[in-house]
Structure 1
Amino acid sequence: MSVSTKWLNEVKWDENGLVPVIAQEASSGDVLMFAWMNREALQRTAESGHAIYWSRSRRKLWHKGEESGHVQKVIEIRIDCDNDVVLLKVEQIGGIACHTGRHSCFFQKFLADGRWEAVEPVLKDPKDIYS
């Protein structure tokens, strides 16, 4: 018996049928990344327990970690008060969420002198992640 998908109707999808998604590490509270989901991606994420996003550049579903092995195990799915942003609380397998080999995609900090600086280390060289 499958779970009803009526809950998907409560999401406020944008004009392209997408909703913004924030992936947050459940254990630390670190914001790991921002992405998009369409209806199918959110449904498949809920069913599989792994983060599946919509790649706007590739125009297809993207199972996080399909190439890198750095999958996101979904602990909890939340939606904001306006029903237009999804929050995934995840366990980041391998500790790397960013394609740059860092823990988080939010590794650049704005400095008072008006420039951005990388303040998080590269944990693994992307050349060693993607072949």
Structure 2
Amino acid sequence: MTWTAPSPAIIDDILSQTRFDANGLISAIAQDPDGTILMLAWMNADALRETLETGRVCYWSRSREKLWRKGETSGQQQQLLEARLDCDMDAALFIIRQTGVACHTGRRSCFYHGVTPDGLQDTMQPEIDPAVLYGR
């Protein structure tokens, strides 16, 4: 499966129907084709447009206040396979091919804190040291 970009007119139509919040953002979930949820991030209209046009997932970094092309510093890129918007048109789900790990902690998924009767338990260990990922 590979991503085929819609025409610019179709992308414009999709963006006009998307319900961005007061900050101009929607939540975006990245999911592996096997069903594993890899991460949740945020997108503004520019990030959504770039993702749909190029097939390389782009987010909005709230902390840096700029577009964040996943993997631009770590090499852990996300290639779009399928894109969906929810019923309210205010959240996106992206089925992606992940290069390496998705989480900045070096884990495959950002969702590794399991809630147990005894408190939080890590459900997976890092696959790569974040210092190696980011050259620190």
TM-score (norm 2): 0.91
Size of the alignment, in residue pairs?
127
Distance 2:74 2:130 in 1: 9
What residue is the counterpart of 1:106 in the other structure? 111
Gapped regions of structure 2 (runs ≥ 5): 1-6
Q: Per-residue CA shift, 1:30-60, capped at 9, x if unaligned?
A: 0000000000000000111011000000000
1:111 is displaced (CA, Å) by: 1.1
Percentage of pairs with the same residue: 46
Distance 1:82 1:128 in 2: 40
Distance 1:40 1:130 in 2: 25
1:3 is displaced (CA, Å) by: 1.8
Secondary structure of the corresponding residue to residue 129 of structure 1: helix
Amino acid in the other structure paired with 1:10: Q
- 2:31 pairs with 1:29: no
1:7 is displaced (CA, Å) by: 1.4
- 2:15 pairs with 1:8: yes
Please list, as runs of the form range in 1=range in 2, the aligned pairs for 1:46-61 lying within 5 A after superposition.
46-61=52-67
Secondary structure of the corresponding residue to residue 102 of structure 1: coil
> Superposition RMSD on alpha carbons, in Å?
0.8
Q: Once superposed, which parts of structure 1, at least 4 consecutive aligned residues long, lie more than 2 Å away?
A: none
Amino acid in the other structure paired with 2:88: D
TM-score (norm 1): 0.94
Distance 1:74 1:19 in 2: 17
Q: Per-residue CA shift, 1:82-118, capped at 9, x if unaligned?
A: 1111001100012x000000000001101112x1111
Amino acid in the other structure paired with 1:104: S
Secondary structure of the corresponding residue to residue 47 of structure 2: helix
What residue is the counterpart of 1:38 in the other structure? 44
- 2:109 pairs with 1:128: no
Amino acid in the other structure paired with 1:50: R
1:121 is displaced (CA, Å) by: 1.6
Secondary structure of the corresponding residue to residue 74 of structure 1: strand
